[in-house]
Amino acid sequence: MRRALPALAVAVTLITVWPAARSAFHEPKAWVFLGAAVLGAALTLPRWRWSALPLLALTVVQPWHSAEEGVMALAFAWALAAWPSLGIEARQFTRVVGLAAAGVGVIVVLQAIGLDVFSMAGPQGLTSRLRLYGTLGNPDFVASVLLPIGLLSLSLRQRGEGRGEGLLVPIVVLIVAALVLTRSFGTLLAALAAGVVLLLHRRGQGVLAVLGLSALLVVGLLGRDAGRTLAGRRYLVSVALPHVLDAPLFGHGLGATALAWPEWELSYWQARCPDAACVAADPQRQFAAAQDHLHADWLEWLLERGLLGTLALLLALGAPLVAHWRRADPFLLAALAAVLARSLVDFPLHRPADLCLLAALLAQVSPPPAATSPTP
């Protein structure tokens, strides 16, 4: 059971929706993640990974402007500290999360043909791609978690462990279908990052599979305005970046972006335009609106957690990779690369399903302490 805990946590987090919650998609997932992380910490006491403890300590002492953000951050830190010592079995993990991902894929396909099974909980009146929110609340959020899981499924196939598993092919097909249907620019970037990792590790079949997926993604993206999307991202960064220096060491606190955004945006436009006519004529005016996140996770971490919090995150993420990347499964590393590449243009590090998956992926990079200790 303890080995299966991260897999079950990711699977349940992916599919959990609670219509009565303030945030029907994120809030219940955050609490499921926290419960699994704390349980993992209890099961592995005192064999917690030291590299995650600074992040845990800073998460506890920093101000929380949003309870949901705080719960997610706390769950992520506990999971990074505890889950590596559970001894996750990679094949079992991929099977479990693959089935959950396939379930999400089925829901996305149904939504694409007009059958929305979450119409009571999901956003109302959406058209085009935005109605394909699966169990995550947004098509970009769906694609963010499905691509890494799809890469893990390819790993089973590459090692021959998928032979005889009749569900492997439909799982991959459903994941690919959902990725293409959601038409997310971030997915293409994440897929290319994964392809580079597989190329460096000389996994030719994996590279070909990612290239094929990338071609399908490009076709799916036809008709979307990449220039406008990039301009919107640049606007968010331009408004927020100067405020890194307002609180450089400890940051503004968890969830501060949404709270401070009106003030930051006002300052930006006051410095840019002398009057209302100038604002109305400015091409960036179309992007002015309330924001919860910057779509640039590393900048948002620096703003909310400061330099100390960002260094603590880099330590928690980097320590296991530096120590064990040569022995890790290349497809696992590709899945990690996909998540981290997406964080450059999206905010997976501020979503419970993505954080839960990322913690579980990192836990598999290095073996548990008991596995590396000599037998007396």
Domain ranges of the chain: 5-226+294-366
* Contact residues for 177 (Cβ-Cβ < 8 A; gap 6+): 105, 108, 109
Grade residue 369 by pLDDT with cuts at 50, 70 and 90: low
pLDDT for the residue numbered 122: 57
The 10 Å CB-count burial string (b at 16+, else e) for 12-43 is bbbbbbeeebeebbbbbbbbbbbebbebbbee
Q: What is the DSSP string of 300-363?
A: HHHHHHHHHHHHHHHHHHHHHHHHHTTTS-HHHHHHHHHHHHHTTTS-GGGSHHHHHHHHHHHH
How far are the Cα atoms of 56, 161, 363 from residue 330, in angstroms, in the given order? 28, 15, 15
pLDDT for the residue numbered 366: 76
8 A C-beta contact, residue 29 and residue 16 = yes
pLDDT for the residue numbered 102: 97
Mean pLDDT of 166-177: 91
**374 DSSP assignment:** P
Does the pLDDT value for residue 265 go beyond 80? yes
How many other CB atoms are there within 10 angstroms of residue 334's CB atom? 30
pLDDT in tens, 216-229: 999 999 989 999 99
- Give the chain's mean pLDDT: 92
User: Whole-model pTM?
Assistant: 0.94
Does the pLDDT value for residue 192 go beyond 80? yes
Q: Which amino acid would we find at residue 289?
A: A
pLDDT in tens, 14-31: 999 998 898 999 999 999
